[in-house]
Amino acid sequence: MKRKFEIFGLCISWFAVVSQFILMIQNRQADIFETVVRFFSFFTILTNTIVALFFTAKVLKKKQFLLKLLVKDGTITAITAFILIVGLVYQLVLRSIWEPTGLQFLIDELLHTFIPLYMLGYWFFHVKKSDLSPKMVFIWLMYPLIYIVFIMVRGSFSNYYPYPFLNVSEIGFEKAILNTGVIIAISIILLLALLFTGKMTLKVRKE
pLDDT in tens, the chain (207 residues): 788 999 999 999 999 999 999 999 999 988 999 999 999 999 999 999 999 999 998 988 766 666 677 778 889 999 999 999 999 999 998 888 888 889 999 999 999 999 999 999 999 999 988 889 888 888 999 999 999 999 999 999 999 999 999 999 999 999 999 999 998 999 999 999 999 999 888 877 665
Q: Can you give the pLDDT at residue 1?
A: 75
Could you tell me the pTM of the whole model? 0.93
Are the C-beta atoms of 39 and 24 separated by less than 8 Å?
yes
Q: What is the DSSP string of 29-70?
A: SS-HHHHHHHHTT-HHHHHHHHHHHHHHHHHH---SHHHHHT
- Terminal-to-terminal C-alpha distance of the chain: 23
Q: How many CB atoms lie within 10 A of CB 81?
A: 27
Question: Cβ of 21: how many Cβ atoms within 10 Å?
Answer: 17
Give the model's pLDDT for residue 65. 60
> Residue 2: what pLDDT?
83
CA distance linking residue 138 with residue 129, whole number of Å? 15
